[in-house]
Amino acid sequence: MPELPEVETTRRGIEPHVLGRRVEQVIVREPRLRWPVPGDLPQRMAGQVIDAVERRAKYLLLRTAAGSALMHLGMSGSLRVVPAGQAPGKHDHLDIRFADTLTLRFNDPRRFGCCLWLEPGEQHPLLGRLGPEPLSAEFDGAYLYGRARGRKGPVKPFLMDQNIVVGVGNIYAAEALFAAGIHPQRPAGRVSQARYERLAEEVKQVLTFAIGHGGTTLRDFVGGDGKPGYFAQELSVYGREGQPCKRCGKTLKNSRLGQRSTVYCVTCQR
C-alpha cells in the first residue's frame, strides 16, 4: 500500500500541473471503488479552479471554492498527469480534465482507493480522529511518551496507529524502530521518554529521506510523473529477513505483529 512518502510524492508531482487550472470535465468510468464515487461529482467539479493540492495522512485533497475532492490511493492506486487525448487503460477509472488539454487520471487495479466530495468547511469522518502529522512540531517524544502511558501492546502497532500519528506504515515503522534501536515487540508503555525522543526524530528523518527519494519502490506504486519511487534500495530491515544486519552483521529475524511482517535485529534492537 502506498504510504505517506508515496502520497506526498504524488502530491508534489501533480501540484505544479493542476494548481490554478480550471476543471473542464470529470469522467467517471468506474464508480465502484472502496466507496462509490458520488454521482454528482462531475457537476460539482466542472468549472471549478483547483486552489490547493493538500495531503492529510494518506489522503489527497483537491481544494476548490465549491468544495474538495478527497482521494485515497488504496493499495494499488496512482494519479498521473497525461495528455487529454491519451486513451484510457483498463483500470483508469476517473479523469479530471482541464481546459488546457491536460488530464489528471486515477488508476486503481484493485479498486480499494476512493474519490469522495467534501462541502466547504466539512470535516469528513475519515479525517476526524486522525493523529498529528509525523513531520509536524506536535509530534515529538513527549507526545509519544504521554500517549503510551499504560499501554501493554507492542510499540510497533502503537506507532502505526493512525489515531496516534498518521502515515507511519509498516515499512517506515520498521525502519524507524531499527534506527532508534527499539525492539518492535517491546511494550509501548515500557519505552522511556528519552527513547521516544529518539524514535520521533528517526520517524521524521526516515520519512523526510523517503520523500526526497520518491518514496518506496512497491510493485504497484508509481508517482505522479509515472516513475517508480526508489527508496527501497536504502532499506535497513524491511524485506531483509535472513540477511545480515547492516549495523552488526547478525542475521535479521522476522515475526508477525498485528498481521504484519516485522523484520528486526535481535542485537541492535532491545
Query: Of the listed 55, 58, 80, 240, which one is catalytic?
Result: 58
* 151 is annotated as contributing to ligand binding: yes
Contact by Cβ (8 Å): 135, 168: no
- Note if 260 is an active site residue: yes
Identity (one letter) of the amino acid at 207?
A: L
Q: What is the SS3 assignment for the chain?
A: CCCHHHHHHHHHHHHHHHCCCEEEEEEECCCCCCCCCCCCHHHHHCCCECCEEEEECCEEEEEECCEEEEEECCCCCEEEEEECCCCCCCCEEEEEEECCCEEEEEECCCCCCEEEEECCCCCCHHHHCCCCCCCCCCCCHHHHHHHHCCCCCEHHHHHHCCCCCCCCCHHHHHHHHHHHCCCCCCEHHHCCHHHHHHHHHHHHHHHHHHHHCCCCCCCCCCCCCCCCCCCHHHCCCCCCCCCECCCCCCECEEEEECCEEEEECCCCCC
Strand pairing partners for 137? none
Query: Of the listed 12, 34, 198, 260, which one is catalytic?
Result: 260
**Total Cβ atoms within 10 A of residue 115:** 26
- Note if 3 is an active site residue: yes
All three cell numbers of 168: 507511519
Contact by Cβ (8 Å): 168, 134: yes
- Note if 152 is an active site residue: no
Binding residues: 91, 110, 151
Active site residues: 2-3, 58, 260
Binding residues for DNA: 91, 110, 151
